[in-house]
Structure 1
Amino acid sequence: MRNVSCENAWNRKQILKCRVRGGGSDALWNLISTIFERVGFFFFFHLGFAETLTSRFDRIGSCPRSPKSLGAGNLPSLLYLTSKAKRRYKRTMSIELHRVQGKYNYDRLADAVVCVDKKVNFYGIVAEYEQPKSTRGDDCLCTMTVVDMSYNTPGLRVLYFAPADQMPRVNTVGDIIRFHRIQMRSHADAPQAIGNPKYGASFVLLSGLEGDGYEPYQKSHSRYSVEAHDRDIVDLLRTWASSHPIDTFAGTNKYMKQIKDINVESYFDLCCKILYVNEQSAENSVIIYVWDGTDTSPACLNPVEQGESDDPGQDLWSAKELALPVDVMRSFPVLGTVLPLVPFDVAEDDSGPQIPLAGDWVKLRNIGCRIRKGLYEGIFLHKSKIGILSPSTQAVQNCERAYKERLTSETLRLPQWCPKPPQSMLVTGYDHVKVSTLREVLTHPQVTNKFRCMVRVMATWPTDVLDFCVPLPESTAGGKDQPEQGAFVYAVRFTLEDPTGRLHVFLYGQDAVDFFVGYPAVDLRQQGDTVGALKRKVDRLLGVSESGPSNPPWVNCCLMSYYLDKERPHDTRRFRIFGTRFPG
């Protein structure tokens, strides 16, 4: 068989012609061609029969098409048209000879879309796939977009209605699906295919990778056939797809955003990876945690949201119903915000779409977001959709490539919204140490370790600077590195935040004296001037504004982890600030 390009070999036309002409058929074919060319060609051509024949067989399937008239007045060159008509006649012969060998005939998508109100059979490559959703009836609805070399933009939208256990479950975008008896419709001036097994529709799903076999990984019916011409079509689609990436939306969807660009004023689409699915949430709803390697922008903290607690830091902490155990976070990437996606405006009897597994790349469509306690949450609405993405999708590869670049660059490892070069009102003696994210701090395998972080201070406890210093307990007075009995000591807790998480850290003893440069620990209720100076420092750390919500600046600080009980080091691990000063 001679080499044939995918575009010219669709639906057995060139492949089958090669078969008819191959082997011992050359003599017979040449005889037929000679007789037709020398005796009947001009007769047939000028009567229009040649074009009628080619119109009849210039497709595969049962959808009728109106033949075009090829009168002599339409012909710019008799010699040119004679050659063209001869080639098309040979092609129709090859199709007709093969047609008797196959049980089913398949339309190219370009031909199927014009067969409105008719049932067709076709093969397609899955370019977009949305997880099945419940309908108002007993069935579920699965929506996908399929393409082939004849109709790859924008692709054909397919709606498949069936019970949940009969839904197509596409493993990955780029796989091949075969539909039988699909009804063609038109919706909003665009073609649309609708299938339902109640009316005879069926499907077969195969891998889209070159070299894979022809055994379906899912089929809607136990009785199915894969014949020689089916294998030919599958091979053609696989070959074509290998050189035409199935990425119908990258760079063209105006609603597509990254996590770093989301805001509360719009609805958007998101290409992201599912890191974790929490089906045991407090509200008995499924919450999924997604990531794309970018950082959410810092959110201002509205005092109204801080609750009525005297401890705003603890309020921020306890309000994070979406916080995850450390053991779960250890499997997460060390950089990039993990965005919780919570259900909203979803009816109780609406089970929503089937949720892909952790590790899957997905396209979220028509989702929103909100800010609670200064943290972003994605909102999954009733009209939101989830579609799986292939790892080979350009958008997925862009995310993974950008993340690898962040890992290898000291500058890119910094929070994406902090100043470059970083500016900090805090000073450390460890600027040579690599910056760690709070997720790295929280999930570090060693209980005791030291880190340098770029963070924001979201809250302090106590909230009143007057209470920053406390009398030293008698049990510790006079000990190593401790003042004598009756002295005071700093005991403050900061709530830190970066794009990867929040963390409580303590500022205590000599580390606190070093931090508040020039202000030793004393009974602050007796030191009005000191209290005023400390309050100004703390307000700068918290980004307190007289005219709006707090917006803390990015600061550089060093953290140390330790434990309280050597019998339970991980359970009693704590963090404190060290080696950090706040001059001025």
Structure 2
Amino acid sequence: METAAAAAPAPARERKRQRQSEGGAVPIQSMTAVGGGEAQYVYLPIADALKASGVRVCIFAAVSEIGAAFHSRGTDFTRTLRIFDQSRSTGISVTFFANDTALLPCVRSSGDVISLHNVKITNYHGEFFVTCDKKSSSFALFEGKASTESSPYQTSMKYHGSKQDDEILTNMRMWLVYPPPEGVGMKDLELQLRSVQSDLTFDLVCKVLHVYEAPGGEWIFYVWDGTDIPTTELQTFLNTEAVPLHLEEVPLPREVLCTLPCIGTILRIFSNKFCKEITHLQRDIYWARFCNITCKQEFGIWKGTLPPSSRVRLLSNEDGSVVERLKMYESRLSTKVGRRPMASLHKAFDFTDVELKRAGYATLMESLTYERVTHKLKTLVRVVSAFPWQGSDLHSLLSSNKHCLWLTLEDPTARIHAYVCKDGLVRFFGGSLTAAALTRKMKRLLGVPEQAAEEGTPVARNPPWIWCCLKSYRLEKEDPWGSRRYQVFGTEVRD
């Protein structure tokens, strides 16, 4: 028998519900009356339920955030969900307790609907909490707005529904399909990596591939959603020798690097605070929603940051946002062009001529994770730095034939250093050996504007995408991977 909130509604509240229905609004408050002496259920809007502190209530709402399962301080397991309805779009947290994790709610997707019976509202220092305990409370989970199925896909052992629940479920789904202009509390601004902008606060749904704790206590999340982050306009000095290959102090070990996807950008998100979800995210199986994060560019590399107001929420693999991203990634892999950098699509690549014309395209990450030290590939990259770059120095380099041109190359998956050595320099510059011709080609290669400022002043550069042939080799037999280097070959810069 359901308690307290299972009482019939007061006449005034019933009249209010009728007025809402007559006005055409979706009636959030609903009553389930079961005949034959069985219990009656009155589902309160969340806003009304919060006024019943200390009382057990019934709520029908949608799930906006899914927490991980944890072992409580006692013998129970616990999980927290955030739910919302039309009366409270910001939602409220509900904490569940059970003897086993299998008895906790397993939400398939954000936006699914949950029915709660006999949960308790508590007010602690002005903040409301909802508790679903294992003795008196019960729940049922239903698919969200995309479904017409009325049967729950998970129920607790004590849950008993009724025929009238179908109408409430239908109304909830209709409201989820046609939310108010301000949204339904599930997200403010949700972006994919391909749409990231500087200094914009947004939510990011992504897979956490690796979590690393830096020596200083800072946490780094390596996240991916299958898309390429936008290319950056580099703000550098013309006399800069090189830019960093990565933002972290220590590069990832090869055994970790080889577990990462070879298509799509892997964004580093930095955080100075520990969150309880980290222990789950370290398992490399979870998708998550990073709420209220920001991004900025450092040395032309995108860097994510978790401010104090940020939250991390685990997502099921069946979550709608996750399924959408996986489908998009599979579609991208289905074509040869789709594998190329997104920013390079529909652009001409007439700046270079390459030897491996018939070779397939490979990303830098595909080469970095290649099973052998030696590897030849044709790739699409941007030259983000070069040393030396001035025409006079390059002319001397070609004359001496003793040193190498040092390039830093990037694509959406990685950055590497590569060398153009000895005789390869003459072919690389296409026989244009005058200082003026070399300067002209290098400026175009680096994306330097024609009216660039003098040396020693910052220059905004946007390097073009170029086809390039690369091969890797080792310097030391005893340390093949540690001494691995890249060299440009079979590539000519055109006029």
Distance 2:319 2:115 in 1: 18
2:355 to 402, 416, 429: 429
1:420 to 346, 351, 355: 346
2:307 to 381, 390, 393: 381
Structure 1 stretches of at least 4 aligned residues deviating more than 4 Å after TM superposition: 67-70, 123-126, 151-156, 160-163, 166-181, 199-214, 243-254, 463-472
Structure 1 position 331 matched with structure 2 position 236 = no
Equivalent residue letter for 1:62: A
After TM superposition, give the deviation of residue 541 of structure 1 in Å.
Answer: 0.7
Go from structure 1 to structure 2 and tell me whether the alpha carbon gap of 1:213 and 1:121 turns closer, same or farther (over 3 Å shift). same
Residue equivalent to 2:81: 144
Go from structure 1 to structure 2 and tell me whether the alpha carbon gap of 1:117 and 1:68 turns closer, same or farther (over 3 Å shift). closer
Equivalent residue letter for 1:275: L
1:195 to 130, 136, 141: 130
Go from structure 1 to structure 2 and tell me whether the alpha carbon gap of 1:330 and 1:424 turns closer, same or farther (over 3 Å shift). farther
After TM superposition, give the deviation of residue 572 of structure 1 in Å.
Answer: 2.2
Instruction: Note if contact 1:406-1:412 (Cα within 8 Å) is conserved in structure 2.
Output: yes
After TM superposition, give the deviation of residue 258 of structure 1 in Å.
Answer: 1.2
Residue equivalent to 2:29: none
Go from structure 1 to structure 2 and tell me whether the alpha carbon gap of 1:487 and 1:364 turns closer, same or farther (over 3 Å shift). closer
1:291 to 224, 229, 237: 224
Equivalent residue letter for 1:512: L
Equivalent residue letter for 2:428: F
Go from structure 1 to structure 2 and tell me whether the alpha carbon gap of 1:469 and 1:452 turns closer, same or farther (over 3 Å shift). same
Residue equivalent to 2:404: 491
Distance 2:407 2:418 in 1: 5
Deviations 1:356-393 (A, max 9, x none): 42331122221111111111111101111122222222
Equivalent residue letter for 2:352: L
SS in 1 for 2:430: coil
The structure whose RCO (Cα within 8 Å, separation 6+) is larger is 2
Equivalent residue letter for 2:249: E
Structure 1 position 128 matched with structure 2 position 57 = no
Residue equivalent to 2:438: 534
Instruction: Note if contact 1:504-1:575 (Cα within 8 Å) is conserved in structure 2.
Output: yes
Instruction: Note if contact 1:274-1:289 (Cα within 8 Å) is conserved in structure 2.
Output: yes
Equivalent residue letter for 2:353: V
Deviations 1:78-130 (A, max 9, x none): xxxxxxxxxxxxx95x535223xxxxx754355x6534522234476762226
Deviations 1:278-321 (A, max 9, x none): 12x143111111111111111122126x9xxx7631x4237543
Equivalent residue letter for 1:336: G
Instruction: Note if contact 1:62-1:120 (Cα within 8 Å) is conserved in structure 2.
Output: no
Instruction: Note if contact 1:291-1:336 (Cα within 8 Å) is conserved in structure 2.
Output: yes
Residue equivalent to 1:97: 37
Deviations 1:45-87 (A, max 9, x none): xxxxxxxxxxxx9x971374227899xxxxxxxxxxxxxxxxx
1:65 to 2, 5, 10: 10
Report the TM-score when normalising by structure 2: 0.73
Residue equivalent to 2:26: none
Distance 2:489 2:288 in 1: 42
Deviations 1:231-284 (A, max 9, x none): 657xx89xx79x9799998998551111111111321111111111112x1431
1:321 to 249, 263, 266: 249
After TM superposition, give the deviation of residue 414 of structure 1 in Å.
Answer: 1.6
Distance 2:86 2:198 in 1: 34
Task: Decide which moves more: 203-212 or 510-519.
Answer: 203-212
Instruction: Note if contact 2:354-2:491 (Cα within 8 Å) is conserved in structure 1.
Output: yes
Equivalent residue letter for 2:361: V
1:255 to 171, 176, 189: 189
Which has more strand, going by share of residues? 2
1:396 to 312, 315, 322: 322
State how 1:166-315 maps to structure 2 within 5 Å: 172-174=107-109, 180-183=118-121, 194-195=129-130, 226-227=157-158, 230=159, 253=187, 255-279=189-213, 281-303=214-236, 312-313=241-242, 315=243
How many percent of aligned residue pairs carry the same amino acid?
Answer: 24
Task: Decide which moves more: 392-401 or 542-551.
Answer: 542-551
SS in 2 for 1:392: coil
Distance 2:381 2:185 in 1: 33
Residue equivalent to 2:28: none
After TM superposition, give the deviation of residue 170 of structure 1 in Å.
Answer: 6.3
Figure out how many residues of one structure are paired with residues of the other and give that number.
Answer: 436
Instruction: Note if contact 2:226-2:263 (Cα within 8 Å) is conserved in structure 1.
Output: yes
After TM superposition, give the deviation of residue 519 of structure 1 in Å.
Answer: 4.3
Unaligned runs of 5+ in 2: 16-31, 69-77, 144-150, 454-458
Distance 2:139 2:414 in 1: 41
Residue equivalent to 1:557: 468
Equivalent residue letter for 1:294: T
Structure 1 position 583 matched with structure 2 position 494 = yes
After TM superposition, give the deviation of residue 340 of structure 1 in Å.
Answer: 0.9
Instruction: Note if contact 2:142-2:154 (Cα within 8 Å) is conserved in structure 1.
Output: no
Task: Decide which moves more: 499-508 or 511-520.
Answer: 511-520
Residue equivalent to 1:49: none
Instruction: Note if contact 2:246-2:301 (Cα within 8 Å) is conserved in structure 1.
Output: no
Residue equivalent to 2:447: 543
Distance 1:318 1:395 in 2: 29
SS in 2 for 1:312: coil
Unaligned runs of 5+ in 1: 1-10, 13-56, 71-90, 100-104, 133-140, 186-191, 217-225, 473-485, 521-529
* RMSD value, Cα: 4.6
SS in 2 for 1:337: coil
Residue equivalent to 2:422: 509
Go from structure 1 to structure 2 and tell me whether the alpha carbon gap of 1:107 and 1:330 turns closer, same or farther (over 3 Å shift). farther
SS in 2 for 1:569: coil
Instruction: Note if contact 2:385-2:446 (Cα within 8 Å) is conserved in structure 1.
Output: yes
After TM superposition, give the deviation of residue 424 of structure 1 in Å.
Answer: 3.7
Instruction: Note if contact 2:469-2:488 (Cα within 8 Å) is conserved in structure 1.
Output: yes
SS in 2 for 1:454: strand
Deviations 1:141-196 (A, max 9, x none): 9863337xxx6897782235899xx99986544586856442288xxxxxx96236
Report the TM-score when normalising by structure 1: 0.63
Instruction: Note if contact 1:122-1:179 (Cα within 8 Å) is conserved in structure 2.
Output: yes
SS in 2 for 1:359: coil
Instruction: Note if contact 1:469-1:490 (Cα within 8 Å) is conserved in structure 2.
Output: no
Instruction: Note if contact 2:404-2:419 (Cα within 8 Å) is conserved in structure 1.
Output: yes
After TM superposition, give the deviation of residue 465 of structure 1 in Å.
Answer: 4.6
| Structure of larger gyration radius | 1
